[in-house]
Amino acid sequence: MLDMSWGEVMVIGAVALIVIGPKDLPRALRTVGQMTGKIRRMAAEFQGQFNEAMREAELDDVKRQIQGVNDSVTGLNPSFNPIQTIRDELKGAVEGTNAATTSTPGATGSDSPGVAGDEGAGLPLPPAPSTDLAAPALPPVAEPALAVAAVVPPSPATPVPQPLPVEQQAAAVKPSEKAE
């Protein structure tokens, strides 16, 4: 800190005791301690602000680099819009399937839209899949575990345990249990 040895601290303490006096020395040491704490807090706050400013400067530098990369990429291909490209491809595929289902039966592969260079160009296109799928109506279920148990039959490999008649249950009880 200030590079003081224990001997120097003792000399300063003795001089302070003589100059300030034993009555006011505790109050003076308390004031010195409070001032030291304030100075340390101010130094820590300054250091934190300085570090934050350094981080912001580094972030600004990184932002400038990223912006430069973005500018160079958009400069290479200004018309590149991946969302619009995907939208156009999907629209073309939907229109292609609509055109294929409405084409005349005698049409060849070169008349209908398709992939260039198809080997099976003379073959007709398969029909479009049906989109009317109806889900079966199910009654509301109060207890899901019971509903699953009712739907899933027991497998033939595992026998379902049946309750024993009362006579067999009494015979199955151990003699030590009867004594109690």
For residue 113, is pLDDT > 90? no
Band (pLDDT 50/70/90 cuts) for residue 42 is very high
Q: What is the pLDDT of residue 43?
A: 94
The residue among 93, 122, 120 whose CA lies nearest residue 106 is 122
* Percent of the chain with pLDDT strictly greater than 90: 18
Where helices occur in 21-101 by DSSP H, the ranges are: 25-76, 82-101
> Is pLDDT above 80 for 50?
yes
Residue 61 pLDDT grade (very low, low, confident, very high; cuts 50, 70, 90): confident
Distance CA 119, CA 110 (A): 11
CA distances from 125 to 103, 107, 116, 132, 174 (A): 10, 10, 15, 21, 77
- Whether the predicted pLDDT of 135 surpasses 50: yes
The answer to which of 39-43, 59-63, 124-128 has the lowest mean pLDDT is 124-128
**82 band by pLDDT with thresholds 50, 70 and 90:** confident
Residue 40 has pLDDT above 50, yes or no: yes
Helix, strand, coil abundance in the chain, percent, nearest 5 = 60, 0, 40
Residue 100's CB is within 10 A of a number of other CB atoms, namely: 17
